[in-house]
Amino acid sequence: MSDTGSSTSAQQPRLELKGITKSYPGVLANDHIDLKILPGEIHALLGENGAGKSTLVKIIYGALKADSGTISWNGERIDISNPHAARKLGIGMIFQHFSLFEAMTVAENIALSMPGRQNMAKLSKRIVEISENYGLPLQPDRQVHTLSVGEKQRIEIVRCLLQSPKLLIMDEPTSVLTPQEAEKMFLTLRRLSEEGVSILYISHKLDEIKALCHKATIMRAGKYISECDPTIETAKSLAEMMIGTDLRAPKHNDTGERGSVRLKVHNLSLDSNDQFGVDLNLINFEVRSGEILGIAGVAGNGQVELLEVLSGEALSKKPEEILFENKPIGNLGPSLRRKQGIAFVPEDRLGHGSVPEMSLVDNAFLSAYDQKQLINNGFIDRKKTKQFAKEIVENFDVRTAGVSHAANSLSGGNLQKFIVGREMLQDPQLIIIAHPTWGVDAGAAAAIHQAIIDLAAKGAAILVVSQDLDELFAISNRMAVIAEGRLSVGRNVQELSIEEIGLLMGGTTGSASQKEFESVV
Amino acid sequence: MLFKIEKRPEASQLMVYATPIFALILTILTGSFLFHFLGVDPVEGLRNFFVKPIDNTYGATELFVKATPLILCAIGLSVGFRANVWNIGAEGQLTMGAIVGGGVFVYFHDVDSVFLLPIMIVMGAIGGALWAAIPAFLKTRFNANEILTSLMLVYVALLVLSLLVHGSWRDPDGFNFPESRIFSESATMPILIEGTRLHFGTILALLAVLGTWIMLSKTLIGFQIKVIGAAPKAGGYAGFSQKKIVWFSLLFGGAMAGIAGLSEVAGPVGQLLPSISPGYGFTAIIVAFLGRLHPVGIIFAGLLMALTYLGGETAQINLGLPVAVTGVFQGMVLFFLLACDVLVNFRIRFTLFGKAVS
């Protein structure tokens, strides 16, 4: 099993799916899907959001039951009735949406997924061992609700690795890692592969798949499209197979000219309310008119706190720490900041950027009622609000059955386009966008990127906070990195390399963490 | 044959309106068994409970008399419930409204003015609102749970009322009975239909329903209430103040309950007594949920719950059943409603050996 990439066809597949079909109310999520994974193979599952990848892996993991089709494990036909059975076979799974108990500690959550009673002290020690070994730092006794998205994912990864699986399913595992961390994890995965562990790897990041995977199965709209060798395909050809249309890179006419300073953050420090949160420490940056500033960083390094204090959901200690067009705004709440021409797209689409069970009309009203004058003599102007919602849907190509449908009936990408559209159509002077394309399919991501660039071209100042470096490199003019509550100096994107950014993300601004980083390398 | 419960892609609007009816049917079925085991013919029992009380004009007007305080309290509570503010102390706010509003008469009993009753109504609303302001303050300042504080204040309010009618507010000509003076005509709700007890409070209740409906569906504050209730973080993102909504919904709920209390003492009761309500403030919680927190639904739910009060009395008189049967019926309605509400977000599908029966 040394040469895993070009395994012979005679080899017994570890897992083989034939004709897997699964329907949800109103949707055929999987339509006769075939999939074959050999021992030690790293197999990519590629597809847009809503292509049915998550459904398929949940079936493999026993979390869902297929309506029809067969599953074979080492050539033997089996029935995986529940995740427990899957784990017993040796299937480990890292879900895209975490299945963690928020009120329990990291170690308790991991203990819950292990068979039998656990010695918590021993388990904690093993967690620390494994997490250090794979470069996924975790404190076993911290409560999950205090962790960032990135840290929560680390729990899921460590949880699987603890059980020495035969087949590891990973749903977008690197989306919250620095390039160095991802690279290190790839080393781990390759080592696992050499040890004979099969890996089913789901990702949007085509370069990653090319670099890591031996085989790729492509799905589109619930159907099996093809199986190919990603090492000989180009990222572009893979993407085209995935979305079925030609992919367009965002058009960027960077003239290098900048307008006046719109947003200036000066020595902003703020203690987090959360005892495990990150304190902001002397943050300085400015965003000019017509400029896109990207802030990169691994989740849980102060992004949440920074975004809150910029949106007005948290107030700064001194109003002068945040200046908008030279006026202090640090003491103003969200509504007053919007009045000045600032718009926000928060990280969490459902429940933060929108009210899930309310209609698109109501969600259009949510943040735009003042700027768009949707209140008439004290009463909500339904007609005008509906008009505005329709305008968003049309201008931003939001695919929905109608604006009276609830926000949570839209796919992630379409809802994100709706929220971005709602904020952009208020003609903001400054727009602050968190993770603009997190979990959004390639088509919607391209549309959102183009909209951001177009808005900057019209003279708005734009601040994008994201973990996706490719995204930041594609759209930003300047970039800074947040690590441990500190922000690096913003630099022009042309002068930066992914490696430099990665080092900054590892926290090299603080010398202590740099040493730690180097010692791990 | 197995059945499985699966999540609906979107909440079913049909079920939102159908589950109260399911709950009612299940209550009637279970009630039939209950009557059977109590040794009463179920048909006769149900007839006495649901039909007989309202098969005449007087009975029908009595239904509205009983529904008035229920609807007033429930409409006020529904605003808070929509904002996830769990005020369950409407009974206490009702009592405090009756004390403050009725107190106006106690001190101005010799005044004969058209302004007396309106002032009493306003003071009733203020009294209820002030009582609800205590949990609002405790919640916004100390993050104290309003379920506990509002509930505990109910008993304080009842004791304050008892203290007053046993003490300084006792009728000097009342042979030492613990009751206030009987309210004069200018301090009493006008009767709407001669020969019945149907009074002006019912009109107030309907106006409150209309006003609340407009507020919730057409104004910014109503929108804020709904957003804070459904997604507090989205409310914070939009710049809505959670504290403001806590204050508003508790004060509003308290004011409505206060008006309900005043309209009872200045209406059917006619004076301040140690006990002025058979638990209207608590039953109103059921009314609010049974009416789907919707103003129009609350009218129907209020009438239905009023019927359980009347039905309980009729069953007591005609069939010799204990008065607790009222509480049992009210509890069953809420119980079955909450159970049936699963169908709003989930549906049941019958499957045959893992394969869907289509």
Domain extents in chain B: 68-291
Structural tokens at position A204: 């949007």
User: Does the distance separating the beta carbons of A355 and B230 come in below 8 Å?
Assistant: yes
Domain extents in chain A: 15-243, 259-341+428-521, 350-427
Whole-number pLDDT of residue A485: 87
User: Does the distance separating the beta carbons of A405 and B234 come in below 8 Å?
Assistant: no
Average pLDDT of the segment spanning B165-170: 92
Query: Which of A344, A367, A360 is CA-nearest to residue A435?
Result: A344
Query: Which of A97, A225, A71, A86 is CA-nearest to residue A149?
Result: A97
State chain A's mean pLDDT as an integer: 83
ipTM value of the model? 0.83
Taking contacts as CB-CB distances below 8 angstroms, the residues of chain B near A273 are none
pLDDT at residue A247 tops 70: no
Burial of B203 per CB tally in 10 Å (0-12, 13-18, 19+): middle
State chain B's mean pLDDT as an integer: 91
Whole-number pLDDT of residue B355: 46
pLDDT at residue A453 tops 70: yes
User: Does the distance separating the beta carbons of B9 and A26 come in below 8 Å?
Assistant: yes
Min Cα–Cα distance to chain B from A335, Å: 5
Mutation site, B237, B241, B357, interface A, largest A CB count within 10 A: B237
pLDDT at residue B172 tops 70: yes
More confident residue, B358 or A415: A415
Whole-number pLDDT of residue A149: 64
Question: What are the Cα distances from residue B7, in Å, to A53, A356, B10?
Answer: 20, 15, 8
pTM: 0.74
Q: Give the fold, CATH level 3, of A15-243.
A: Rossmann fold (3.40.50)
- Cα–Cα distance between A107 and A111 in angstroms, integer? 6
More confident residue, B283 or A195: B283
Q: Does B47 reach chain A within 8 Å, measured CB to CB?
A: no
Whole-number pLDDT of residue B174: 83
Whole-number pLDDT of residue A305: 92
Which one is the CATH code of A259-341+428-521: 3.40.50.300, 3.40.190.10, 3.40.50.720, 2.40.50.140? 3.40.50.300
Min Cα–Cα distance to chain B from A366, Å: 6
Which amino acid makes up residue B21?
A: I
Average pLDDT of the segment spanning B329-357: 77
Average pLDDT of the segment spanning B243-257: 97
Confidence band, pLDDT 50/70/90 cuts, at residue B323: confident
Which of the listed ranges A118-122, A147-151, A239-243, B25-29 does the model predict with the highest average pLDDT? B25-29
Minimum-distance CB partner of A357 among B220, B230, B241: B230
Confidence band, pLDDT 50/70/90 cuts, at residue B241: very high
Fold equal for A15-243 and A259-341+428-521: yes
Q: What percent of chain B has pLDDT over 70?
A: 97
Which of A349-353, B85-89, B122-126, B156-160 has the weakest average pLDDT?
A: A349-353
- Cα–Cα distance between A486 and A280 in angstroms, integer? 6
Whole-number pLDDT of residue A2: 42
Average pLDDT of the segment spanning A25-54: 83
pLDDT at residue B353 tops 60: no
- Cα–Cα distance between A279 and A272 in angstroms, integer? 5
User: Does the distance separating the beta carbons of B11 and A353 come in below 8 Å?
Assistant: no
Average pLDDT of the segment spanning A249-260: 66
Could you report the per-residue pLDDT of B53-73, keeping only the tens digit for each? Answer: 999 999 999 999 999 999 999
Could you report the per-residue pLDDT of A381-411, keeping only the tens digit for each? Answer: 999 999 999 999 999 888 888 899 889 888 7
Whole-number pLDDT of residue B115: 94
Confidence band, pLDDT 50/70/90 cuts, at residue B286: very high
Whole-number pLDDT of residue A145: 84
pLDDT at residue A509 tops 70: no
Whole-number pLDDT of residue A10: 59
Measured between alpha carbons, how far apart are the two ends of chain B, in Å?
A: 13
Question: What are the Cα distances from residue B182, in Å, to B161, B170, B178, B199, B262?
Answer: 16, 10, 12, 17, 14
Min Cα–Cα distance to chain A from B229, Å: 10
Average pLDDT of the segment spanning A103-110: 90
